[in-house]
Amino acid sequence: MPTSVKSKNSSKAIDRPFSPAILRRAREIVSGYQIILHVEDGLYYGRGLEIPTAMNHGKTPDECVRATRDILTTAVAYMLESGQTPPAAASENKRTEQINIRLTPEEKLTLEEAARSKGFRGVSDFVRSASLSTVK
């Protein structure tokens, strides 16, 4: 998964050529993704819930959502093109199963730092994402 995906110009849609089939599939996947918005100094900032490193901005909430959805589509298209499995929409998968992993304090600290640096809020989401991306 790309570690950082930002659009240089939020007025442009996809600024990289992808095959129509991959782009169509990416748009389908991203249509279920959730976007988190916040306002700072009169500008709206958005990021994907499922891919927290995909972010963009806009002058209005609608512009921000469109720009963020575009960058999410680019990220997912890249993942599909490179054989990776994009994360499912948060609303699709209800996680009901749990596993426990014992770590040393140093291992836990390492995972927490890695999770933060990749834009994840916690170790669980980071470990799940990293683990699933290596086995699929």
pLDDT at 91: 77
> What confidence tens digit (pLDDT) does each residue in 70-123 have?
999 999 999 999 999 999 888 776 666 788 899 999 999 999 999 888 878 788
pLDDT at 13: 54
57-77: average pLDDT: 96
* pLDDT higher than threshold 80 for residue 135: no
Between 63 and 16, the more confident residue is 63
pLDDT at 24: 96
> What confidence tens digit (pLDDT) does each residue in 4-56 have?
344 444 444 556 689 999 999 999 999 999 999 999 999 999 999 899 999 99
CATH architecture of 5-81: 2-Layer Sandwich (3.30)
pTM: 0.60
Report the distance separating Cα 24 and Cα 38, nearest Å.
28
pLDDT at 78: 94
Contacts made by residues 89-94, CB under 8 angstroms, sequence distance 24+: 89/29, 89/32, 89/33, 89/34, 89/50, 90/33, 90/34, 90/49, 90/50, 91/32, 91/34, 92/32
